[in-house]
Amino acid sequence: MTGYGKSTMQNQNGYIIVAELRALNSKQLDLSVRLPGFLREKENEIRQLCSERMERGKVELLINIDGSGVKAQYGINKGILKSYYDDLVAFSNENGVVPGNEILSSLIRLPDVISDHSSEFSSLVWESVLEAIHSTLVQCRKFREQEGQNLEKDVRLRINNIALLLTQCDHFESQRIEKIRSRLEDEIGKIADKIQYDRNRFEQELIYYLEKIDITEEKVRLSNHLNYFVETMDAQGNNGRKLGFIAQEIGREINTIGSKANDAGIQKLVIQMKDELEKIREQLMNIL
């Protein structure tokens, strides 16, 4: 099932995070993730999150982070620096030492004067990335739901069409048996004066043959499969594969009716049913 989602946000420190997700049809989940280098350690977590939501499809997730407007990740602890400076001045006065011009560069190297906020910034970025991914997945799911509603309407229509075509078989079924019986009796009548045959045995063989080409059971099973298909569509959960299996059974019964038909009218209906079923199968490739 296809899908698309895109989310752009800016966190409090100026990072602009863009998450974009594209999904195409596929029987299995084929996930591709493109991340900035410093987020590679989070790739497995991102993959797990996407796998839980997407389930199937050829999915590509792209995350781009723009840090051009970000404040510096390092800061000066002015209180500590002033404390160092005051102590140094006091020491110089007590010992008659005049501090040189390089005093500031020396003080900067002292412990805790420079504070590193990189871990704090990374945490804030990761939280924003997660938020962007969640938003994108929600958008993609809504996209899929809209597509799914359209697919549902189309599939229901074609299931109803098959059911309607099946009921039209009754018109030909009532005439088909009599036509076959009449044709066989006409053929045997043409040679009746030339050969001897057992009339009772002929009737038995005729009944056996007519039973072999009877399609009542196939029609009942096909009707049940159509009903089960609709019930499965109405059920909760992702039933795309199950619908595919039911469609196989529907096709099997349609093929059997066609092979037993021996009637041009029924054969025409069978062809129409096959056409509707093939369109259903194409749509099932897009259903989870």
CATH number of the domain enclosing 7: 3.30.230.40
DSSP per residue over 177-216, as a string?
A: HHHHHHHHHHHHHHTTTTS---HHHHHHHHHHHHHHT--H
Of 5 and 94, more confident:
5
Specify the pLDDT at position 73: 53
Has residue 175 got a pLDDT over 80?
no
Whether 161 and 274 share a structural domain:
yes
Has residue 260 got a pLDDT over 60?
yes
Q: Report the alpha-carbon distance of residue 134 to residue 83 in Å, rounded.
A: 46
Contact between residue 20 and residue 61 where contact means Cβ atoms under 8 Å apart: yes
Whether 160 and 263 share a structural domain:
yes
pTM over 0.85: no
* % of the chain surpassing 90 pLDDT: 32
Whether 7 and 78 share a structural domain:
no
Q: How far is CA 171 from CA 166, 167, 174, 175, 207, in A?
A: 10, 8, 6, 7, 21
Whether 41 and 141 share a structural domain:
yes
Whether 255 and 226 share a structural domain:
yes
For residue 286, what pLDDT band results from cuts at 50, 70 and 90?
Answer: confident
Whether 24 and 125 share a structural domain:
yes
Whether 108 and 197 share a structural domain:
no
Whether 153 and 221 share a structural domain:
yes
Q: Token pair for residue 29?
A: 């989940």
Averaged pLDDT, 25-39: 84
Specify the pLDDT at position 135: 93
Average pLDDT, the chain: 81
Counted domains in the chain: 3
The torsion region of residue 263 among left (phi > 0), alpha (psi -120 to 50) and beta comes to: beta
Q: Token pair for residue 38?
A: 């410093």
Lowest mean pLDDT among 138-147, 166-175, 180-189, 267-276: 180-189
Whether 80 and 207 share a structural domain:
no
Q: Report the alpha-carbon distance of residue 154 to residue 161 in Å, rounded.
A: 11
For residue 61, the cross-strand partners are: 21, 33
Find the domain containing 84 and state its range. Answer: 74-116
Has residue 103 got a pLDDT over 90?
no
H-state helical runs in 43-77: 43-54
Q: Report the alpha-carbon distance of residue 148 to residue 87 in Å, rounded.
A: 72
Please give the torsion angle defined by the CA atoms of residues 89, 93, 94 and 95, in that order, rounded to the nearest 10 degrees. Answer: 100
For residue 93, what pLDDT band results from cuts at 50, 70 and 90?
Answer: confident
Contact between residue 208 and residue 215 where contact means Cβ atoms under 8 Å apart: no
Contact between residue 184 and residue 197 where contact means Cβ atoms under 8 Å apart: no
pLDDT digits (tens, 9 = 90+) for 104-163: 667 666 765 565 444 445 677 888 889 999 999 999 989 888 888 888 999 999 999 999
Q: Report the alpha-carbon distance of residue 54 to residue 51 in Å, rounded.
A: 5
Whether 173 and 192 share a structural domain:
yes
Of 18 and 216, more confident:
18
Whether 245 and 261 share a structural domain:
yes
Whether 137 and 260 share a structural domain:
no
Averaged pLDDT, 5-22: 86
